[in-house]
Amino acid sequence: MHFAPHLYLDPGSGSFLIQLLIAALLGAGIALRAYWGKIKELFGKKAKADEDHDDPSN
């Protein structure tokens, strides 16, 4: 695949590759968490909403 064709910063080869590796791992973690949430829901617990809880400086 092609990465963004209009890059004006050099993202660095090593940085790209390690990122793919780490992100794959962390993405899998998120998927697991989602499944775990669904399992908990089955037993009557509500999954917590994560919409916009990320106001940075407060």
Residue 41 interacts with another protein (CB under 8 A): yes or no: no
Residue 32 interacts with another protein (CB under 8 A): yes or no: no
Closest approach of another protein to the CB of residue 18, in Å: 4
Closest approach of another protein to the CB of residue 3, in Å: 6
Q: Are 37 and 47 in contact (CB under 8 A)?
A: yes
Residue 1 CA: distances (Å) to CA of 4, 21, 27: 10, 16, 19
17 half-sphere exposure, CB direction, 13 A CA radius:
3
- Which residues of the shown chain bind another protein in the complex (CB under 8 A)? 1, 3-4, 6-9, 11-20, 22-31, 52, 54-58
